[in-house]
Amino acid sequence: MHAITANKGPVVHGYHELRALASQVGKRFFFESTVMDGAPIFSLFRGALPAARLVAFRGILNSTTNLILSRMENGESFDDAVRYAQSIGIAETDPSGDIDGWDASVKIAALTTVLMDTFKAQQVDRTGIRALTPADLQAAINDGERWKLVCTARRDAAGNVSAKVAPERVKRSSPMYSVDGTTSIVEFETDVLGKLAVIESDPGPHTTAYGLLADFIHAVR
């Protein structure tokens, strides 16, 4: 039967094998909800952008850390912002997966594996947000910038892909500057269209569920 998942593990660790198996038996293996909660990322390249080659992407893929940083800009301590994220159910009891950049790294690995046909999660250069203070965030604001946990991947002229997740100060001219709270964004750079951005505002269980439903509809059509 067709296989549809919101679990990043099978994509990061078994994408090529599962895709090949699905092809052998004439079925589909889809996973739209693994990154950005059902926003059409993978299906964008599978359907709407035929023959487009992904050169690079850049964005905010972990909404929990984005919410924490947004609240710290308003004067909350790091610990208080984490506790708030836990209280509304978007951060785990052990928040290290988010704040240390693991979740973002796995999402980068999923995107690079599927869309750039390379990479493993352990190869992502990873730095989290633990070291940032409200004073750091305010200093950036005073300079017309904001701190964000930014995910990047780029293919060089030789075809090699490098990827990292790390806090960065972004300028007002960046589309990431105005992304607040639990909103996510990814900006793709292709060889045919230049840059194309997808923004998902305030996702939740309903958006993840929609991604699964969309995959089901695409699979059986």
As annotated, the active-site residues are 107
DSSP codes, 200-218: E-S--HHHHHHHHHHHHHH
Query: How does DSSP classify residue 46?
Result: I
Strands 3-4 and 54-60: unpaired
In the chain, the amino acid numbered 193 is: L
Instruction: Work out the end-to-end distance of the chain between its first and last CA atoms, rounded to an integer number of angstroms.
Output: 14
Give dist(CA 138, CA 101) in Å, integer. Answer: 22
145-155 and 125-126 strand pairing: unpaired
